[in-house]
């Protein structure tokens, strides 16, 4: 998720007054954990060896099943691939 959009959510919730529980927030797409690393390296022009990691243990078993994913995307500003490309773009 785009950090600006994440930061806007509490401000919007506060401005609209008490609402109890607010809906979950989820990004516009779901992908493998290695993709953000590839996007960041590509945006900065760095090259590093990349190996997919599969975290072990009960804490990560739920992640692998998708238990912590938002049922529907709720943000649409930028994908993770767009975020580092914009943040680390070089002028010129």
Summarised one tens digit per residue, pLDDT across range 36-80 is 788 888 888 888 887 777 778 887 888 778 777 776 666 666 677
Average pLDDT over residues 22-48: 78
Say what the pLDDT of residue 61 is. 84
pTM of structure: 0.48
The answer to whether 48 and 41 have CB atoms below 8 angstroms apart is yes
The CA-atom distances, in angstroms, between 59 and each of 25, 37, 54, 63, 71 are 20, 21, 12, 7, 20
For residue 4, name the pLDDT band (cuts at 50, 70, 90): confident
Instruction: HSE, CB side, 13 Å, CA atoms: give it for residue 39.
Output: 16
**Confidence category of residue 90, pLDDT binned at 50, 70, 90:** low
Question: Would you say the C-alpha torsion 5, 53, 72, 13 has a positive or negative sign?
Answer: negative
């Amino acid at each position: 998720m785009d950090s600006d959009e994440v930061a806007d959510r509490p401000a919007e919730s506060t401005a609209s007054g008490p609402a109890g529980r607010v809906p979950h927030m989820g990004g516009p797409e779901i992908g493998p954990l290695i993709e953000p690393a590839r996007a960041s390296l590509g945006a900065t022009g760095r090259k590093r060896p990349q190996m997919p990691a599969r975290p072990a243990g009960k804490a990560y078993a739920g992640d692998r099943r998708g238990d912590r994913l938002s049922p529907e995307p709720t943000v649409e500003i930028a994908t993770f691939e767009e975020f580092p490309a914009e943040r680390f773009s070089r002028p010129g």
